[in-house]
Chains A and B, each alone.
Chain A
């Protein structure tokens, strides 16, 4: 009965509304995620609709608030209906002598759903992160931590060290992130007391050209195992997911006008539910329209 949303696969269908007032920038981003499961005994599809609102002050920091509603349609059980709340803030500190930028971030998530057993709803996650970006923007590292409190005395801890670097004058970017998830209850985590996984992503930025020419292409791969993962890039908590065992994504970006960008992604994630011996996949198509 345990269900899980692929957190990293939030699909932003439309991003709109940016107001600029002196040193502040305000953004509002409605989003839509759509996915279908193949080979799943229990699951049929998932949909997530949400909005994020953020305000940033010069290069000093930003605060983001968000809400989304997730629906996971089941084949024989009632649809999981979940409210996801998000509050995130960060501030930057610049090091002297061109030694780069430190960012200090703190995310808070609250997830409520109609899981009558109470195993996946009422989740609160606190996730701090410290990151560093070199002055030339060619090196990046962060260390993230997340502590998720689930009902019935389950506290999941996650450590996410990350390293990234640029190549080819910054036209290529490669990033690795490890997910070390600890404190699992094997009875509620596919028999696992801990999981270890990693994500790798390569992005290539093209020179400007015609509007039809992509501005970027990205390939992502997920290795190892993850469950109850917190993705601070996607700003999501995978509280509904089964054990994830790998996946791949490919994305293309276009700059379609002076202020608008389009991003499309196709992805597939593989999951396992050991309780019912079911290996299945989540197929996702993604489109994201954003205005700068």
Chain B
């Protein structure tokens, strides 16, 4: 009887070991990221199997950590790989927009943001990244449209109105820009850009 109990305990211990296998690698990676040691955080998840249950997460995290290290091309490659593995992954698409925006590859960032919106229309981050890409392209009407959609779907968000205000300002729509900047200040009273624009308008 005693021997059977020991065997059962041993099986439980082995099972728990299996269940928690690799968790420590992830914990180390997150800790190292918090400490700003991004390359080490990448190394910490190197043992995670490429075909195991965490493979997709590993790819996404590698994309993120490469982005943090400034290795934008590697980051894009990882996120692209993640998209190929899972074309429904909004995470991967939004992740890819980060290095693309960092490299000022505006048209590519626009396209990937639209890919994310095709999966999830009106997604906040996708609309925001689209607005940023269109701002980089100096496509003010397009930016106005994206930011307007953002403000419409997220009416409490100051950032949405900030991008809308910029789009109007670049087009010389001063009244609309002033209204949008005012909306920013109502939601975020210390926003410097909005305050500067409105004080300039008042000075005229």
Contacts and interface: CB of A to CB of B under 8 A. Distances in A.
Interface of A: 22-23, 25, 58-60, 94, 96-98, 101, 135, 137, 207-210, 258
B202 to A, nearest CB: 18
Given A208-B172, A210-B172, A96 B107 contact: no
B72 A58 contact: no
B106 interface: yes
Contacts of B171: 208
A60 B71 CA distance: 18
Interface of B: 70-74, 102-108, 111, 140-141, 169-172
B72 A97 contact: yes
Nearest to A292: B139
Given A98-B70, A210-B172, A258-B141, A22 B111 contact: yes
B104 A58 contact: no
Given A135-B103, A210-B172, A258-B141, A97 B108 contact: no
A288 B105 CA distance: 27
Contact of B106 (A59, A208, A209): A59
B106 A96 contact: no
A4 B102 CA distance: 45
B111 A96 contact: no
A63 to B, nearest CB: 16
12 contacts: A22-B111, A23-B107, A25-B107, A59-B107, A59-B108, A60-B108, A94-B103, A98-B103, A135-B102, A135-B103, A209-B172, A210-B172
Contact of A135 (B104, B169, B172): B104
A97 B105 contact: no
A101 B100 CA distance: 12
Nearest to B71: A96
A101 B170 contact: no
A185 to B, nearest CB: 45
A97 B111 contact: no
Contact of A94 (B73, B111, B169): B73
- In the complex, the 8 A-B pairs of residues with the closest C-beta atoms, listed nearest first: A97-B70, A208-B172, A59-B105, A94-B103, A58-B108, A58-B107, A59-B107, A96-B71
A94 B77 CA distance: 13
A96 B108 contact: no
B107 to A, nearest CB: 5
Contacts of A58: 105, 107-108, 111
Contact of B102 (A98, A208, A209): A98
